[in-house]
Structure formats: C-alpha cells, structure tokens
Amino acid sequence: MTPTEQILGIKFFKGDVGRAVALMSERGGFLVAPSGTCFARLRRDDAYREAMVNADMAIPDSGAMVLLWRLFGGRKLTRISGWKYLHGLSDRFFAEKQGDVFWIVPNERARETTGRWLEQNNFQFSSDDFYAAPIYGAVVEDRYLVDQIHNRKPRHLVVGIGSGPQEKLGYYLREHLNYRPAIHCVGAALGFLTGEQVKIPAWADRFYLGWLFRLITNPVRFLPRLWRATELPWLIFRYREKLPPLRSRQRRTED
C-alpha cells in the first residue's frame, strides 16, 4: 500500500519525489499535481472533481496547502512540486535516452520549445511524439488523441495543457485507453523547464515562491488565478479530510 494523506477528499502521496516517479513508471495510471488555485474548482466543476478524486496519484504541489494542513490538521506533509516532480521524471527519461514518451502540449509554440529542450538534453523523439491539444470544453473527450496513442503505445504521456482540462483529459485517457501507461498531468511545470513560461529557480521552488515569479512576469493573467487560492484556508479549516460539497447549480451560475 502506498502511504497517502487525505485532504479535501484527495489522497495525496506521502514520500519523496524519487519514489513518486518510480511508482508511476512501474504501475502506470494518472497523476495530478493541484496548485493552491485549483481547490476552489472542486466545488464548482463536477467533471474536474471526479477526475481528482479518482487519480492514481496526487502529489502535494501546493506549498499553501502543505502549510495550512500543518496548521489546521496538525500533520506534516512533504511538498513535491510539479516542477520538482517533472525534473525527476525528465532526469529518468534522459538517463534512459529512449523516445518512449508522448507529449501533450497546448499549442504549436509549446511543441517547438519542448522539442528544443529535448534536443538540448540529447533525448530521442520524433514529430509524431507530440500532440497540440485543442481548446476543450467543460466535458473533455478526444477520440482522435486516443487513436493516436493506441497507434504508438508509449509508456509515458506527459500532459502540460493547464489545470482543469488536463486532469479531465488524464482521467478520460486512463478510462479509454486499452493499456495502462503512466499519465503525468504536470501543467505549467513543463513550461517552466522548456522556457515556454518564466524559469523558476530551484531556491524559489524550495521556498514555495514559484507563484511570485509567475505573478511578477504576468500579473494580468496570474492575479485572477491567485485570487481563487484565497478560498483554500477556509476549505481546509471547514472540511479537513472531507471532499467539499458541490455548490448548487444556481449558485455556480451566479458566480
């Protein structure tokens, strides 16, 4: 049994990053790494909520969640950021030097920056190892992508299309693929490593300051997301281990 800590209905992995990477690589399934801005979505988006509670592994990416859990829950949880997890995962890829990875990115620019990053690390890949995802709606389905993956059968799928759609896509892929790859939903972490987004220094990630770098470089885009994180203290204080209830449809429409 893999040790976990349940917070807001999500079972978070307890362990170090090396163990998390090894377990996902050995067992497959799909992994999520919710940031502090994501938890409010549990009360508003039932498809996202279903994906999160059914993830095979959730890593505690949010420094705010880890600190609040220590404050309100009285228990320590070691943070594994998406940035740190993807560093560990990509180190494993680069050591093996095998092109057995399929990259799902948000656009053509991300495809190009990811390709350059892989070349810099002497990692073998082809143009068919990438998929520039469309803009998905509230319900995420992509039969074409399923067919593409079935044709290639990669061991690893790295999904970096942004929080919300990527977790729904990871869950959809696990349920519709005819084999069990490791599906790593890492969101912005891929952009941090490839240069698609602002570079996050190791010290900033260690001291939970990645959000500050994103805010400084793109306040218009990131400030509204950061505002959503203000619900997190109340959610943890109120619900602790329990999954928060969905808000009524009328209230969600008004929001």
Give residue 172's identity as a one-letter amino acid code.
Y
Q: How far apart, in Å, do the first and last CA atoms of the chain sit? A: 40
255 against 36, higher pLDDT: 36
As given in the structure block, the two tokens for residue 195 are 């240069």
130 beta partners? 103
Q: How many residues does the chain have?
A: 255
- Hey, where are the domains in the chain? 4-254
Per-residue burial over 194-233, b if 16 or more Cβ lie within 10 Å, else e, is bebbeebeeeebeebebbebbbeeeeeebeebbebbebbb
Q: What is the pLDDT of residue 37?
A: 80
The predicted model scores a pTM of 0.86
For 247, counting Cβ atoms within 10 Å of its Cβ (0-12 exposed, 13-18 middle, 19+ buried), the class is middle
**Residues 6 or more apart in contact with residue 66 via CB below 8 angstroms:** 60, 77, 78, 79
- Measured over the CA atoms of residue 126, residue 131, residue 41 and residue 46, the dihedral's sign is negative
pLDDT tens sequence across 197-243: 656 666 555 655 555 555 566 666 666 666 666 889 999 999 999 99
219 against 158, higher pLDDT: 158
- pLDDT category, 190, cuts 50, 70, 90? confident
Q: Across all residues in the chain, what is the average pLDDT?
A: 85
